[in-house]
Structure 1
Amino acid sequence: MKPDTLLFEIAWEVCNQIGGIFTFIKSKVPTMTDTYGENYYLIGPYIPEKAKLDFRPIRELDYTPLSKAIQHIRDLGFEIHYGYWLLEEARPRVILINPNINIEKLNAAKTTLWEHHEISALKSSELLDQVLGFGEVTRLFLTKLIEELHINQDVIAHYHEWMSAASLPDLSRQQVRLATVFTTHATLLGRYLASNEAGYFSGIPTFNWAQKAEEYGIETEAKIERNVARHAHVLVTNSAWTASECEAFLGRRPDSIVHNGIHRKPGVGHEVFEKHLQNREKIDALIKALFSPSYQLRSDKTLYFFTSGRYEYFNKGFDVTLQAIARLNEALASRQSDINVVLFIITKKPFHNIKPDVLEARQRFQELQRICRKISTKLGPRIYANVTGSAGHKLPDLNQLIDDELQMLWRQALANFKRNGLPPVTTHHLIEKDSITEFCEDAGLNNREENRVKIIYHPDFIERATSLFSMDYLEFARGCHLGIFPSLYEPWGNAAMETVLHGTPVVTSDVSGFGRFAGEAADMAGNNEVKIVKRRQQSTEEAVIQLTEIFMQFVEEFENQQYIPRATLPKSVLDTLCWSELQQRYHENYKLALFRYQPVAGLY
């Protein structure tokens, strides 16, 4: 590759957190900016409520080709923003495009889709219209940019998932001077078929993609995805499972399999345990705030489990997790165990607001802590004066050292803190009930004191600035004891990978890309770091039984040994999961795309 090659990474989850692609892009960006510097840009959709959190616009445009292309798009009447994505470890330049375009221009894009690719978009949806609108503006922007660049300037467009890539086939058809890479992190049909078709994984080659797309009502979307894969110079995916789906559903074998990674290697040894203790204290504080007004949970007798991911009840294994946790609750209660397990469920669902009683409980707990500190500050000097005074070494009567003001403060704080009723299962007011809340109600997982398993359903992403936990997601994962990801469909599995790499043991599945990596490439299956639920050939009931046994074993080991397991992976495994190494694989794919775009030049 030439040193001045421009690289555009295009994804629907740039500045727009929805699921795993956001984590993937965010973790990759620091390495990309280190590698490509000022020649690296991201393109994503402009979603105002998301962009306001971490997007800083550049107000003044200069006379560079990029600025001219942006101004050209604005002159055409489209909304496009240019600025910086404010990430923790990088500030990449980003272009955000409003995917909602006027009906006349949208219909023109649909007409082109039909005339040149024989894909009908008459039966549309809000998301599909946004995908096509975003694709049309992206196509116009890249076309204009390349017109402004010198003819010897190389440009690569790296698309992620079909929603960002509607522009790719027309850029190819119009022979725009551009090398393209398409990474599919999952296939549309895979998401639908895995949870609805018996024997899905063994039957992938036998499915008729067109018939199934029509059956599930995603014909247009599946054809767009297939069309993108066919026109890309290089097709990449993240696991062997998805590679087999590409062949069956997209009609093309991937040129490369590059799994996901992390930016920075986590600490090792005592660092992992110290971070666990620090972050567990923050989780303890929230649990005490929510539960102590009703009854006490001993921190040293409580385990924190969590599951997280996009809200796909069956594909993400939420169904299996809840069934197994309900059985664990019954088993611990029947044994009269004094161990409590708190299961956190972290996903994204529409909600009105955080429940006022949850915010109030946290505020009152913080007030109680403040009063305790105040009492401690006043009491300390009095105890010291008493011991060193005439009373000598005799232990003072603490009641005599507490004056009326402190007693009043303490009684008032306690009266405000106590509450009738059970701790909340859901932290937010959901717009409507879902399968998680319905299961908890039916199974009696309602946070009664006699239940050994408590549930905290947090239907929003965890971010330090906005969440109840006052910490970010990875800090939360470090503070827990076990991450649970027994997915039925998980082409890679960022959540499981990040969790175990930051010291928390995980449960994953044998149909997860990371689960397969852990079991085969890294030989981690069966140890204390990674437990693998067999979902490829087991029934749901068998998977629930296996997961329940894993939970029981985990609790018993903690109960018998009072040991908090931490995951520490060997350096050989860590190295293969870092972007500093994985980026070399993508670099080779970029070179291959450039070669296929202009093979006669012989430069690559």
Structure 2
Amino acid sequence: MGKEMLVPDYIFESSWEVCNKVGGIYTVLSTRAKTLQESFHDRIFFIGPDFWVESESPYFEEDKELLADWRNAALNDGLKVRIGRWTVPGNPIAILVDFRPYFSIKNELYGSLWEDFRVDSLHAYGDYDEASMFSYAAALVVEHFYNNNICSGQRVIYHGNEWMTGLGLLYIHKKLPQIGTVFTTHATSIGRSIAGNMKPLYDYLFAYNGDQMASELNVESKHSIEKQTAKFVDCFTTVSDITAKECEELLDKPVDVVLPNGFDDSFVPKTASFGKKRRFARERLFKVANALLGELFDDDTLIVSTSGRYEFRNKGVDVYLEAMNRLLRDKDLKKKVLAFIEVPGWVGEPRRDLVERMSEGLTYDTPLEVPQVTHWLHEMTHDNVLSMMKFCDMHNRKEDNVKVIFLPCYLDGNDGVLNMTYYDVVLGNDLCIYPSYYEPWGYTPLEAVAFKVPCITTDLAGFGLWANSVKGRYSDISDGVKVIHRTDYNYSEVADAIKDTVTQFSRYTKKEIDSARKNAGALSKKALWSEFIGYYYEAYDIALRKASER
């Protein structure tokens, strides 16, 4: 038997997405919180940025009684924090820190970062400064709490997510060497840039020099902080085997542990309300479609969707549209298809003509003008989705069996048209489609199967590779997840595979559909946090052993 694992007494975890719903990292942390809270009972603290001035975070509930003595002590020492609960299952303690005061010492911080760790902040622009000041403030929170509340000899972990937390991790490494540091990169900044700039990532991965590419693609500072943090922390981690290869090649540092992303099924409605919520979601989506397109859809219509961040190529939105375009001409398609693109764009306002129609409670037989989009965008003519639909002559004509609707807003329940949260909307789908080109893990397909919605993904997504490993072969739609082989160059084949899978699904009997839905749900159970949390304990053990050696 091996040595007994070292377990932390306290865990501090920071991310730009604590109480701030931006992307997949929010889902990682917010769904994992309950599992860790059950084990550590208010000895895990999530630290996020406090930029909520004009409105409060909808995911944070301040509690002025919580850790009041420490908060007052921190305030006396010039550290402005708000303490409360993150309103997700488990309700863990969240500390939001005001990072704005530290902009005044930015240059000194960057100077010492260069001297101590050779981090190049010279080429910083955009969000680098904001992220770095937050990272520093988060580290001050850990340092202050440690010095005031924690007994010597107690084991402490500081876990930072993404390059945005790098400066703080290095600060803790230098100032409090007795704290074990864990760094998770969910996607390398340089890998994402290579993919997003239409360069082939996978076939040439072995040949790329990360530093050289960072210079070429103007992400030197982000790459530098990420690379040096990976080098100096006690335990360097990522979320999938595919990104582990990327880290080794582009950051010149193999990861210590892969931490696959799990899910917490307390987000999924129980049996009694599941069917009711699913019916409501479908009715709502059909209502939006009728008001926009002037066409009635019965429940036999296939509702499909793609969603995620607006990374047109990386998330596979381009190939999704191409597949829907080909599906228009597929003679074997047995049902009408209503295809949604739920990707937040540069959204202006909800369409008044659409909102008016929906509020009247009538049904319509004439379409609105521009029947492809639910909200006006700030730059309609420069939008990738609308431009590609125009190029492909996809105008949602009456005779088209496939209609594509762009919902370019965050589905937070207050978008002005659908007014439903993403999890409530996803329930109404028959199929979800995520043909990613660059996807370190892939929460959207995992969320879909958790809600018993079969989905299509690729083997360039960590989740797709994991689904294949569970099956011991390429997973198919009858298994609940169709995993398509994707490379740097087979865009057309991927579009055809999506088209063929939707067509195949349109011919399924009720029994075959029920079986695929059941298999999707069963697969999601294998990705619960209870199955994956052990990897985190492994990472904590590695970090604590290195810290104790110091």
Q: Deviations over 1:163-189 (max 9, x none)?
A: 123211122123443111111111111
Corresponding residue for residue 243 of structure 2: 242
- The SS at the match of 1:84 is strand
Is 1:453 equivalent to 2:449 in the alignment?
no
Corresponding residue for residue 387 of structure 1: none
* Kept in 1: contact 2:190–2:210 (CA 8 A): yes
- How has the CA–CA distance of structure 1 residues 493 and 461 changed in structure 2, closer, same or farther, with 3 Å as cutoff? same
Please point out which of 42, 45, 62 is paired with 1:41.
45
* Kept in 2: contact 1:189–1:249 (CA 8 A): yes
* Kept in 1: contact 2:355–2:416 (CA 8 A): no
* Kept in 1: contact 2:136–2:167 (CA 8 A): yes
- How has the CA–CA distance of structure 1 residues 341 and 62 changed in structure 2, closer, same or farther, with 3 Å as cutoff? closer
**In the aligned structure 2, how far is the partner of 1:188 from the partner of 1:102?**
24
**In the aligned structure 1, how far is the partner of 2:521 from the partner of 2:350?**
42
Range moving further from structure 2, 33-42 or 90-99 = 90-99
Q: CA deviation at 1:222?
A: 0.2
CA RMSD of aligned residues (A): 3.0
What TM-score do the two structures reach when normalised by structure 2? 0.90
* Kept in 2: contact 1:119–1:224 (CA 8 A): yes
Q: Deviations over 1:112-157 (max 9, x none)?
A: 2233233332333230110111122123222222222322232211
* Kept in 2: contact 1:286–1:362 (CA 8 A): no
Corresponding residue for residue 371 of structure 1: none
Q: CA deviation at 1:323?
A: 0.7
Q: Structure 1: any 5+ residue segments left out of the alignment?
A: 369-413
* Kept in 1: contact 2:456–2:477 (CA 8 A): no
Corresponding residue for residue 358 of structure 1: 354
- How has the CA–CA distance of structure 1 residues 132 and 195 changed in structure 2, closer, same or farther, with 3 Å as cutoff? closer
Corresponding residue for residue 22 of structure 1: 26
Q: Deviations over 1:77-136 (max 9, x none)?
A: x6432222222x232211112343454212222222233233332333230110111122
**In the aligned structure 2, how far is the partner of 1:308 from the partner of 1:293?**
20
Corresponding residue for residue 165 of structure 1: 166
Corresponding residue for residue 122 of structure 2: 122
Please point out which of 49, 53, 64 is paired with 2:58.
53
What TM-score do the two structures reach when normalised by structure 1? 0.82
Q: CA deviation at 1:572?
A: 7.8
* Kept in 2: contact 1:16–1:51 (CA 8 A): no
**In the aligned structure 1, how far is the partner of 2:323 from the partner of 2:312?**
14
Corresponding residue for residue 519 of structure 1: 468
Q: Deviations over 1:205-235 (max 9, x none)?
A: 2211110010000011101001111111111
- The SS at the match of 2:91 is coil
Q: CA deviation at 1:36?
A: 0.8
- The SS at the match of 1:157 is strand
**In the aligned structure 1, how far is the partner of 2:354 from the partner of 2:178?**
55
Is 1:432 equivalent to 2:379 in the alignment?
yes
Q: CA deviation at 1:358?
A: 2.4
Corresponding residue for residue 533 of structure 2: 583
- How has the CA–CA distance of structure 1 residues 573 and 449 changed in structure 2, closer, same or farther, with 3 Å as cutoff? closer
**In the aligned structure 2, how far is the partner of 1:447 from the partner of 1:360?**
21
Is 1:315 equivalent to 2:314 in the alignment?
yes
- How has the CA–CA distance of structure 1 residues 419 and 571 changed in structure 2, closer, same or farther, with 3 Å as cutoff? closer
**In the aligned structure 2, how far is the partner of 1:597 from the partner of 1:562?**
54
One-letter amino acid of the counterpart of residue 343, structure 1: A
- Counterparts of 1:248-259 in structure 2, within 5 Å, are 248-259=249-260
- The SS at the match of 1:345 is strand
Q: CA deviation at 1:454?
A: 1.3
**In the aligned structure 1, how far is the partner of 2:367 from the partner of 2:19?**
42
Corresponding residue for residue 104 of structure 2: 104
* Kept in 2: contact 1:33–1:40 (CA 8 A): yes
* Kept in 1: contact 2:7–2:540 (CA 8 A): no
* Kept in 2: contact 1:282–1:470 (CA 8 A): no
**In the aligned structure 1, how far is the partner of 2:285 from the partner of 2:370?**
12
Please point out which of 418, 421, 426 is paired with 1:477.
426
- Percent of counterpart pairs with the same letter? 28
- The SS at the match of 1:587 is helix
Corresponding residue for residue 447 of structure 2: 498
Q: Deviations over 1:378-404 (max 9, x none)?
A: xxxxxxxxxxxxxxxxxxxxxxxxxxx
Is 1:13 equivalent to 2:17 in the alignment?
yes
- How has the CA–CA distance of structure 1 residues 599 and 134 changed in structure 2, closer, same or farther, with 3 Å as cutoff? same
- How has the CA–CA distance of structure 1 residues 248 and 548 changed in structure 2, closer, same or farther, with 3 Å as cutoff? same
Q: CA deviation at 1:435?
A: 0.4
- Counterparts of 1:174-323 in structure 2, within 5 Å, are 174-196=175-197, 199-264=200-265, 271=271, 275=274, 278-291=277-290, 295-323=294-322
Is 1:532 equivalent to 2:537 in the alignment?
no
**In the aligned structure 2, how far is the partner of 1:442 from the partner of 1:587?**
51
- How has the CA–CA distance of structure 1 residues 165 and 68 changed in structure 2, closer, same or farther, with 3 Å as cutoff? farther
**In the aligned structure 1, how far is the partner of 2:254 from the partner of 2:498?**
34
**In the aligned structure 2, how far is the partner of 1:38 from the partner of 1:339?**
51
Q: Deviations over 1:340-359 (max 9, x none)?
A: 21111112223222221222
- The SS at the match of 1:568 is helix
One-letter amino acid of the counterpart of residue 285, structure 1: R
Q: CA deviation at 1:62?
A: 5.3
Please point out which of 529, 539, 546 is paired with 1:596.
546
- How has the CA–CA distance of structure 1 residues 575 and 329 changed in structure 2, closer, same or farther, with 3 Å as cutoff? closer
* Kept in 1: contact 2:295–2:366 (CA 8 A): no
**In the aligned structure 2, how far is the partner of 1:190 from the partner of 1:58?**
40
* Kept in 2: contact 1:10–1:42 (CA 8 A): yes
* Kept in 2: contact 1:240–1:513 (CA 8 A): yes
Q: CA deviation at 1:422?
A: 4.5
- The SS at the match of 2:389 is helix
- How has the CA–CA distance of structure 1 residues 294 and 28 changed in structure 2, closer, same or farther, with 3 Å as cutoff? closer
Q: Deviations over 1:293-320 (max 9, x none)?
A: 7633231341100001111110000010
- How has the CA–CA distance of structure 1 residues 290 and 546 changed in structure 2, closer, same or farther, with 3 Å as cutoff? closer
* Kept in 1: contact 2:6–2:545 (CA 8 A): no
**In the aligned structure 2, how far is the partner of 1:570 from the partner of 1:507?**
11
Q: CA deviation at 1:540?
A: 1.5
**In the aligned structure 1, how far is the partner of 2:22 from the partner of 2:516?**
29
- How has the CA–CA distance of structure 1 residues 471 and 564 changed in structure 2, closer, same or farther, with 3 Å as cutoff? farther
Q: Deviations over 1:471-497 (max 9, x none)?
A: 432232221011001100111111101
- How has the CA–CA distance of structure 1 residues 171 and 285 changed in structure 2, closer, same or farther, with 3 Å as cutoff? closer
**In the aligned structure 1, how far is the partner of 2:524 from the partner of 2:511?**
29
How many pairs align?
A: 540
Is 1:339 equivalent to 2:338 in the alignment?
no
One-letter amino acid of the counterpart of residue 457, structure 2: T
**In the aligned structure 2, how far is the partner of 1:483 from the partner of 1:538?**
23
* Kept in 1: contact 2:350–2:415 (CA 8 A): no
One-letter amino acid of the counterpart of residue 547, structure 1: I
- The SS at the match of 1:158 is strand
* Kept in 2: contact 1:16–1:50 (CA 8 A): no
**In the aligned structure 1, how far is the partner of 2:453 from the partner of 2:358?**
26
The structure with the larger Rg is 1
Q: CA deviation at 1:553?
A: 2.2
* Kept in 2: contact 1:69–1:145 (CA 8 A): no
**In the aligned structure 2, how far is the partner of 1:557 from the partner of 1:572?**
19
Determine which structure has the larger helix proportion and give its number. 1
One-letter amino acid of the counterpart of residue 318, structure 1: V
**In the aligned structure 2, how far is the partner of 1:264 from the partner of 1:130?**
34
Q: Structure 2: any 5+ residue segments left out of the alignment?
A: none
